[in-house]
Structure 1
């Protein structure tokens, strides 16, 4: 019998009093795509760090193709066995594709033969069907191409086991299809994948087996074809009937006033976009990553300056590209990238929650620790943030809890308009439900919500969904739309094409 590509048996890991993994086992067979799923904080990241040689086990063992894992100090040995492609690309943006492919591999005699380097890079990429120019700076590549460059780099070191950590989080539907097609081709060539995703439909589309972790423990491993989605969600959450209920919409109040008015707005990646959001209404923006939907939302909030058009809150036109003015006018925002735009990772929960209201908490924006702690404590309760206390750094939190902190900060000023950009990206099933419940809550409070998302489940919260394609609004769907209708509009195809 052929030995597993990787096998973890009885793995345990603690960080001080925190149990990160307890008696976890995993077996990945050659040539398969094996999904690893679980809520944020379930232990997935810790297990990956052990499987890739970044952390040692406290108990248990790891083997590759029947041989014990090498010592952590033997980095070359680890890189010849396994590599991880993370959600955020691990390339050096200033260096060319060729330089990134052969980074940290000393040339003979210490001198680099640039012509030979470029030739070898081209041969490597061609052998795996990656079509990018080797002289291109890596920072200019699309996210999709950066991922393929990282995979090719891993394969060039001899690794045939690739961990894909949330690879689709920043890709549009067409790029996801290309990624999955490439994965299938590579599987036929003997490459094995450990696929980590919060999108369960992707597990069913591209994986043959799935392992579920919950609360640092192994819950189940099964062939994908033999486990239903409801059963999978129950395993992840530890609850029965874990699938979310259908979304119902209360009708808008009679005479609900217009709060947000966007008129003939144009900018980077979009043109002549007009929309209105009334009090107590949720309006969704749907489209591919190239549709311009993110840029529209960021312009509404002042992160970008438009080239034409206006944004007004309750009839008052806002200055262009002015975040402070947007805040003062009553716009709160959950930005697209929580790590770079939404949080100060080294600071505490209470510091992050109060960032947008310091001017209201004391003279010259200086707030006492007691006042900040009180607001932080309230946020823990109001948004279900799982933490040791308001003083805990947000860098210590899971992705779902970090996103709750971002949302708490956005709502701390009691805004009249809430702009949500991919609010549930990279969070687990239960955190997603909690975040969307807040959307329902702020709608009931009479706030106007502009919701931008790649997730159909998110967009079901909307009273109306505007579809953008090629930078323009091409369709509007009222609540009750079918998946097929919306996806057809996003992709620009007819239902029966």
Structure 2
């Protein structure tokens, strides 16, 4: 049962970054004890609002209030932590520290030497209090994505914060893990914790949230209870127009086309075993399965990010050196990694610099890159992938998530690869960006590229000519185009082989 007291309010917020208006008189009000969705396309102003609600940015106009009281000064970080915390899509957990050390980072002791036994005891008590089933003495780097998120929630609550922002928390979770997260969120709500939930998966908004606010083009559009806003109206509010469903192209793979990417006898202990596959020119093959199926580990082996214990990978007829990314790229493969923040781009470099990294040697003579040629190629990629930007010289760090992901795909396609591996390309991006990304993969296939598409989204996999379903490290089914959701999910859950 929610109260009428506002846990947090942002009133008349305007924020500019040079000529760009990130928020234009926008605001939000969240009632104590409710889970409130914030939705909008990439670039709508959501991330800027989060930075203001957490005290990382000062608004140019407007104010933030907690429980009816003005927000503390920006310099008083402890006061902000006692009021609000954010669990970001990009984890802030330090992998080389233990769980206990992460929980009490920078507050291990009030004074004097750290009492490690007491610290671990406090950590175990905190983990038990919030139902986080991990070892306080274990390394945080050994935790799953799900466990790291729960650890961040427990850490936030330990500061005394009763308002938590969850930024795309389900982007890297599989179905069962998402339901466990939602169960935990419902439990926290019953304890009076207020949450702001940011997601591009609108079905999740209807499942877990009581109310929703929509932002578009830096402005607040509407706030209402979830039950009063049908799905179609919610999409209209986000886009300003009725957004058509993605039109999956009619396609027939050529069974006689040459194989451009192959694996034989691939095994990696704890991830997958004895995998064979062959991807033909112009063919899109999906990899589906739960988070523990081994699909991401297999894809990362194909691109050289992991080294298999046994087996071979062949790209465009060339057997590549195991676990060697440069060898794979030189053979003619492009890839989009799962984690765009760590592996996909260099944040401070421009769009043109990031997108042309694979072809830098072709943009000049005698080892010198022509800035004009680089900008020209960058501008062409911006047009082809509809990247929303001020131009090819804009740093990728300034882009929204969907547009940054388009830069990563542009880089993967820069050298016209014969083979392409794309891992969860639409995680954390809006509807229109998703359509652009899937369309670019289909365009590449139409030009003869053979592609492997790994995705947790069933709709993404509909562009595939066939889908290989993995279960506990094995490929258990090869599903041709035209499958139903129930057929694919049954195979993914091991209900049928």
CA distance in 1, matches of 2:272, 2:255: 33
Shift of 1:6: 0.9
In the aligned structure 2, how far is the partner of 1:70 from the partner of 1:315?
Answer: 62
Contact preservation (8 Å) 1:212, 1:218: yes
Give the aligned partner of residue 46 of structure 1.
48
Distance 2:108 2:28 in 1: 35
Q: Which residue of 1 aligns with 2:262?
A: 261
Residue number in structure 2 paired with 1:410: 412
Deviation by residue 1:341-364 (Cα, 9 ceiling, x = unmatched): 121222111111211112333345
Q: Answer whether contact 1:249 1:463 (CA < 8 A) is retained.
A: no
What does residue 211 of structure 2 align with? 209
Aligned match of 2:194: 192
Within 5 Å, which residues of 2 pair with 1:77-116? 77-105=79-107, 107-116=109-118
Q: CA deviation at 1:180?
A: 0.7
Give the C-alpha shift of residue 493 in structure 1: 2.9
Equivalent-residue separation in structure 2 for 1:494 and 1:266 (angstroms): 23
1:397-416 deviations in whole A, cap 9, x for unaligned?
11111111111111111111
Matched residue, 2:163 = 161
- Which residue in the other structure is 2:480 paired with? 478
- Go from structure 1 to structure 2 and tell me whether the alpha carbon gap of 1:362 and 1:163 turns closer, same or farther (over 3 Å shift): same
Which residue of structure 2 lines up, in the alignment, with residue 181 of structure 1? Answer: 183
Preserved contact between residue 101 and residue 153 of structure 1 (Cα < 8 Å): yes
TM-score of the pair, normalised by structure 1: 0.95
Q: How many residues align?
A: 494
Contact kept? 2:264, 2:275, Cα under 8 Å:
yes
* Residue correspondence of structure 1 range 116-155 to structure 2 within 5 A: 116-155=118-157
The structural deviation recorded for 1:313 is: 3.4
SS of alignment partner, residue 233 of structure 1: helix
- Closer/same/farther in 2, CA of residues 91 and 254 from structure 1, 3 Å limit: closer
Residues 475 and 489 of structure 1 are in contact (CA less than 8 Å); yes or no, is this contact kept in structure 2? yes
Residue 440 (structure 1) aligns with:
442
Correspondence for 2:394: 392
Alignment partner, residue 230 of structure 1: 232
Instruction: Report the CA distance between 1:318 and its aligned residue.
Output: 2.7
- Three-state SS of the structure 2 residue aligned to 1:56 is coil
Instruction: Give the superposition deviation at 1:243.
Output: 4.1
Q: Residue 453 of structure 1: CA displacement? A: 0.8
1:365–1:234 Cα change, 3 Å:
farther
Aligned to 2:245: 244
Q: Secondary structure at the match of 2:43?
A: coil
TM-aligned CA distance change 1:59 to 1:412, over 3 Å? same
Q: Assess if the C-alpha contact under 8 Å between 2:170 and 2:178 holds in 1.
A: yes
468, 471, 478: which one pairs with 1:469?
Answer: 471
1:110 counterpart SS class: coil
Q: Which residue number corresponds to residue 323 of structure 2?
A: 321
After TM superposition, give the deviation of residue 246 of structure 1 in Å. 4.7
Unaligned runs of 5+ in 1: none
Normalised by the length of structure 2, the TM-score is 0.95
Structure 2: gaps of 5 or more residues? none
Q: Measure, in 1, the Cα distance between the counterparts of 2:369 and 2:62.
A: 49
Aligned equivalents of 2:363, 2:106: Cα separation in 1: 50
Q: For residues 246 and 91 of structure 2, what CA distance do their matches in structure 1 show?
A: 35
